Amino acid sequence: MSMADKSCSYFLDVLASKAPVPGGGGAAAMGGAIGMALANMVGNLTVGKKKYADVEDEVKNLLAKGSKIIDELKTLVDRDAEVFEPLSKAYGLPKDTPEQAAHKAEVMEKRSIEACAVPMDIMRKAYAGIKVHQRMGQIGTKLAISDVGCGVTFLKAALISGRLNVLINLGAIKDQQFIDSTREEMNKLLEEGCRIADETLALVTEKLS
């Protein structure tokens, strides 16, 4: 069974234990999915209301995007665990001889590149989710506007957490081209995503005031 399909209590208990997975990556993906679900809740509360009839089609489109992001982030909870296992084994490889050290470095690089893929995906999905919140905050029902603020905060946290999980894996990689391209995308997602999240939170706060 997928980790995302188990109970919240089970997930938290395993997360708090010394088990290698889930870790920060899985928690980031799960937190992002929770944040995205909050935007969908606002959308579902908006659809069918006469007051918002003129934006109903757009809200439905946002709901479809949100549902897709939720499913993708749930999948990434498990993917994070899948890529961490071979990386953790690579850390235990011997390096007593030059040949062993070279082999370990090669395996570590390969596994670390694979391990970067998941938190990068988490960042991409979190960014996409933040964009949905941005629009939902503008056109969604004001009765649940605080939930847009809560949701975008979860996704901003997922974005930042995803970056931290990329950074820790970049340390074992020597491929400078990979490092440079990854950092470039990562920094763009972080800067733009945090900016939109902060603007959305400010909008929510203004509407609540």
In CATH terms, 21-208 corresponds, of 3.50.50.60, 3.40.190.10, 1.20.120.680, 2.60.120.620, to: 1.20.120.680
Q: How far, in Å, CA of 16 to CA of 31, rounded?
A: 15
Residues 118-144 have pLDDT tens digits of 999 999 999 999 999 999 999 999 999
Which residues does 96 contact at the CB level (< 8 Å), separation at least 6? none
Q: Whole-model pTM?
A: 0.93
Counting Cα atoms < 13 Å in the Cβ hemisphere of 133 gives 40
Tokens 């918002």 sit on residue: 52
Residue 168 has pLDDT above 80, yes or no: yes
Q: Average pLDDT in the 180-205 region?
A: 98
CB 80, CB 29: distance < 8 Å: yes
Query: What is the pLDDT at residue 147?
Result: 98
Query: What is the pLDDT at residue 116?
Result: 95
CB 128, CB 69: distance < 8 Å: yes
- Please give the DSSP secondary-structure letter assigned to residue 51: G
- Closest C-alpha among 130, 137, 170, 126 to residue 32: 126
Higher pLDDT, 66 or 19: 66
Question: What DSSP letter does each residue of 85-121 carry, written as one string?
Answer: HHHHHHHTS--SSHHHHHHHHHHHHHHHHHHHHHHHH
Q: Average pLDDT in the 96-115 region?
A: 88
Q: How far, in Å, CA of 24 to CA of 90, rounded?
A: 19
Which residues does 173 contact at the CB level (< 8 Å), separation at least 6? 109, 112, 113, 116, 179
Residue 39 to residues 6, 160, 163, Cα–Cα distance (Å): 22, 19, 23
Residue 93 has pLDDT above 90, yes or no: no
Token digits of residue 191: 């800067």
